[in-house]
Structure 1
Amino acid sequence: MSFPTDAVALITGAASGIGKATVEHLYAEGVRRFALVDVNSTMPTFDDADVLHLCGSVADPSTWDEAERAITECFGRLDLAVVNAGISGAGPIADLAFEDWRRILSVNLDGAFLTLRAAMRLIPGEGAIVIVSSIAGIKAEIGVAAYGASKAAAAHLAKVAAKEGAARRLRVNAILPGGVDTPIWTGMSFEALQAMAEASTPLGRFATADEIARQIAFLLSDRAATITGALLASDGGYSL
């Protein structure tokens, strides 16, 4: 699987975790033009690639005013987009402060909408978009009301966007990871993480960020040419 070297890929949340792994995998598969967005300015760069770094919150409309202008000036268009930036949070509904609810929904849903809107404006015809949702968006668990609701809505955005983009063969899909070994688990030992995975997933392990990145790349590629509006669960069987 490879991508044209002139393809332009937008990835949010590009500084770490799934976002960074996706940038690195797309680079390995031939992409040489990137627009990367994160609140952290330390994002991947490559000596033989054109990389536009945009530092800002995906939930801030002004970030996207600047991003659309800069992407148009630097590249003229987008071909691929990965709507990945997000934050986590937990708390029972009865105890959840409205500020915490809004903070999570702002990044995970408002940010997804703003990213998706920009991508659909900047992809002129055919192209592919993947929204990184979560299995928490379809499987209820105690304490994940805000996070789960934001990810359920993001998954539905992918379906609506798939219908809206189909006439020009713009494909939009969502991936729904379960547990992923990323910096979100910082402070937890490998043994504790493994024990959690063995207890909660039939396959007995969480995914790596690289594995999710390869699945995202598949959905972006021509190998998935007739797949659109799909929700790909990648959760080790957790949702069974």
Structure 2
Amino acid sequence: MSTSLACHGVAGHVVVTGGASGIGEATVLALIDEGVAVSILDADTEAIARTEDRLAGEDVLALVCDVTDEEEVAECLSQAVDAFGPVTGLVNCADIDRDIPAEKTSAEIFREVLDVNLTGSFIVCRAALEQMGDALSIVNLASVSGQSANAGRVAYGASKAGVIMMSQVLANEWGASGVRVNVVAPGAVDTPRTSKVHSMEQRRLWTSRTPLGRYGRTQEVANAILFLLSPAASYINGHVLTVDGGFSTSGIIAGR
């Protein structure tokens, strides 16, 4: 089952939202390789069922959870702590994406994206704080679209920019309590969702703007996440680690 590309020394009990697919799933598998107990929170009932079957026998608790629902999140975190003890790490991967020009983005769509990506991440961060042990490392997933004004990402980009600022404020406020809060901002990564959202034309455009000339692999992002969770990153707090093959150094996706 090994998917991790490096040893990180992560231990304890880590909660991963959006952990039943994509980057979240790769992170779960890498954590399992390190012997970490993992609680998965994901809104996709079918994906959770597949994950339970695939990871049967592992120290994994897979729960269907809507991260925008405070009561549901609190209940799921309580179940997770009952199963594996206090939370020592949290990875917020749960999000939704919309690639729509600004003039076609309704207020309803804008609110929905911010509610899941930004408010949902905040809700789970607060719940994890209440269930932490002596220390807690949080890694929130943002995006290069939260750092660069990529066309079609008015809602998604705003939500991810918000995740960055939220994370830095939490790092500031909670650091004295033994909590580190950092961000991983991926560029174009091959995931099931990307394969549906990105047309061949878009793939060529993203690849042409990425100095490494390819999409990233979910395991590569997972390794960055595990590093920030690990003791090797014990003095890193409020940092944004961009994992994008150099995309952010070479320009943005202009309007079309």
TM-score, with length taken from structure 2: 0.86
Q: CA separation in 2, counterparts of 1:220 and 1:4?
A: 6
1:36 has 2:31 as partner: no
- Structure 1 residue 168: Cα displacement: 2.7
1:49 has 2:58 as partner: yes
Q: CA contact under 8 A between 1:3 and 1:30: conserved in structure 2?
A: no
Structure 2 residue runs without a partner (length 5+): 1-6, 250-256
> Match of 1:30, as an amino acid?
G
Q: CA separation in 2, counterparts of 1:194 and 1:184?
A: 13
Q: CA separation in 2, counterparts of 1:88 and 1:115?
A: 19
Q: CA separation in 1, counterparts of 2:96 and 2:170?
A: 22
TM-score, with length taken from structure 1: 0.91
- Structure 1 residue 97: Cα displacement: 0.8
Q: CA contact under 8 A between 1:135 and 1:176: conserved in structure 2?
A: yes
- Structure 1 residue 211: Cα displacement: 0.5
> Match of 1:203, as an amino acid?
L
SS in 1 for 2:248: coil
Q: Which residue of 1 aligns with 2:254?
A: none
Task: Give the counterpart of 2:187 among 173, 178, 184.
Answer: 178
Q: CA separation in 2, counterparts of 1:9 and 1:148?
A: 27
1:72 has 2:76 as partner: no
Query: Deviations 1:143-183 (Å, cap 9, x if unpaired)?
Result: 21100000000111111111122113321100000101001
Task: Give the counterpart of 1:205 among 214, 224, 227.
Answer: 214
Q: Which residue of 2 aligns with 1:96?
A: 105
Q: CA contact under 8 A between 2:38 and 2:60: conserved in structure 1?
A: yes
- Structure 1 residue 4: Cα displacement: 6.2
> Match of 1:228, as an amino acid?
N
Q: CA contact under 8 A between 1:2 and 1:30: conserved in structure 2?
A: no
SS in 2 for 1:49: coil
- Structure 1 residue 142: Cα displacement: 2.1
Distance 1:4 1:102, change over 3 A: closer
Distance 1:76 1:207, change over 3 A: same
Q: CA contact under 8 A between 1:59 and 1:106: conserved in structure 2?
A: yes
Q: CA contact under 8 A between 1:37 and 1:55: conserved in structure 2?
A: yes
Q: CA separation in 1, counterparts of 2:165 and 2:185?
A: 12
Q: CA contact under 8 A between 1:40 and 1:55: conserved in structure 2?
A: yes
Q: Which residue of 1 aligns with 2:124?
A: 115
Q: CA separation in 1, counterparts of 2:196 and 2:156?
A: 21
Larger CA deviation: 145-154 vs 52-61: 52-61
Distance 1:69 1:169, change over 3 A: closer
Q: CA contact under 8 A between 2:65 and 2:76: conserved in structure 1?
A: no
Q: CA contact under 8 A between 1:90 and 1:143: conserved in structure 2?
A: yes
Distance 1:211 1:193, change over 3 A: farther
Q: Which residue of 2 aligns with 1:160?
A: 169
Q: CA separation in 1, counterparts of 2:122 and 2:72?
A: 13
SS in 2 for 1:79: strand
Equivalenced residues, count: 238
Q: CA separation in 1, counterparts of 2:232 and 2:21?
A: 26
SS in 2 for 1:10: strand
Query: Deviations 1:21-77 (Å, cap 9, x if unpaired)?
Result: 00000111221x211100123333434433222102111223213113212322331
1:14-33 → structure 2 map (5 Å cutoff): 14-31=19-36, 33=37
> Match of 1:13, as an amino acid?
G
SS in 2 for 1:125: strand
- Structure 1 residue 121: Cα displacement: 1.6
Question: Identity of paired residues, percent?
Answer: 36
Query: Deviations 1:196-224 (Å, cap 9, x if unpaired)?
Result: 34312122112111110011001101111
1:145 has 2:157 as partner: no
